[in-house]
Amino acid sequence: MGHNDIPVLSGGFAPIDGEITLDLTDVQGEIPKDLTGMHVRNGPNRRFEAPGRYHWFDGDGMLHAVRFEGGRAQYLNRWVMTDGLREELAAGTALWQGIKDPPRKDRPDAPIKNTSNTDVKFYAGNLVSMWYLGGEVYRCSPNDLSTLGKVDFDPRMKGLPVSAHSKVDERTGEFLFFAYGKESPYMHYGVMDRAGQLQTFMPVQLPGPRLPHDMAITPNYTIVHDLPLFYDMDAFAAGRHKLKFHHTLPSRFGVIPRHGTPEQIRWFEASPTYMYHVSNAWEESDGQGGTEIVMTGTPFRLPRDWHGNVLVDHFPKMLANLEHDFMFYEWRFNLRTGQTRERILDDIVNQEFPVINSWMQGHKTRYSWNVLMGRSNRAEDPRFCGFVRQDLQRGTSTSYHEGVHKWFSEAPFAPKDNWKAEDDGYLVGFMWDDEAKASFVTVFDAADIAKGPVARIRLPHRVPNGFHATWVSGERLARGY
């Protein structure tokens, strides 16, 4: 089977070989002069073809960045030089197969290759690249994207796989993380200060091995997830990794004081679901002397039959085939009563990859900008076809898309220089135009996405469709956190 027969190895997904740095001059519209900083996106870019089956998540990590200053833009891209990629480069061939095939039995230390292809954040003066299955975190230079090594974690964390969706608190510079695995206690939580010192570290006991994807933070609390989509435990005992939706179990959310102890973890139950990504969380008064933790995110809209029953066996297959059907949702965890309230914010628009003004992370936000998810006629052919701007104050949304031939990436919020209001900035991201067979950088006015990009910047080569991105302002680059 050739690459053209595999959706996530062809078209806008196809891998590239080159690493380049160059100024961008092919601009439609105008690059805002009050946009200063750098956009960095991570994503899979398979270096060596491997035998067996291929999944989109298998590709080696590659960072793509665009620097903005004074109405000008410069593009650069570099591989994340993981240990696995270095081994394969030395051998001149693939040494691992993908996640659809059996792991390596001769490498108990690395049965699956940590591709570091999922998320990227700015922490302690460096970009940090992370992997969705959890593992070592790689440090990359914000100057040229070169891989500098790994984050030097505290010896107490030796061997723990750090999740891709660890958080950086921009106001304190702290790195908040969770690590999960297949042995009890199954999860750990910790906080490193902006100089790289481990300040808080604790076990988080779960009932068994789970597959959490994200977490949420507020100034005083962290929220970790125990969701009922995880291994079929009978198959797991036999050595097979088969997912099952345990629809009779509730979703559980653990609320941990940021610098607390295991004894202070409080668990809240909610409707069974599975979720990749949180939008935001914050603290509110419950009006009776207590505190509520409010969390928003984009859980799956569960597949149901005509009678409203959840199609339990079909749900894990949706994830395997990259069939995406999401909604925008809110949970409220009352620390006074121990009760959970939850509600749908929007189940009309299919939306995921939420972003906010990241300075506001952990504080009450009015806006969330989410990726508009399209539906495909082919399995394993996800479509990120535009953006949705959610206004939580008004309970409304606006959206933008350009039809089936445009494929956008997560576009983090980039504040204007000297920004004042929460939405006083831009959304910056990559877009693949399948008709023009070209990649672009798009810049939207975050306050009015419906009018389309204020700038489209054509790139000299394709940026393969990818996952998560971050915006690092010029001010953050200067202060180092």
What distance in Å separates the CA atoms of residue 95 and residue 325, rounded to the nearest whole number? 34
pTM value is: 0.96
Q: Which of 468, 439, 453, 379 is nearest to 164 (CA)?
A: 468
Q: Which residues contact 190 (CB under 8 A, 6 or more apart)?
A: 157, 176, 177, 178, 179, 198, 199, 200, 201, 202
Residue with tokens 């390596």: 104
pLDDT tens sequence across 75-87: 999 999 999 999 9
What distance in Å separates the CA atoms of residue 268 and residue 35, rounded to the nearest whole number? 41
User: Vertex 255, ends 249 and 258: CA angle to 5°?
Assistant: 150
What distance in Å separates the CA atoms of residue 112 and residue 241, rounded to the nearest whole number? 13
Given this model, what pLDDT does residue 377 score? 67
**Contact assessment for residue 386 and residue 297, using Cβ atoms and an 8 Å cutoff:** no
Identify the segments of the chain with pLDDT beneath 50: 1-2
Share the mean pLDDT of the chain. 95
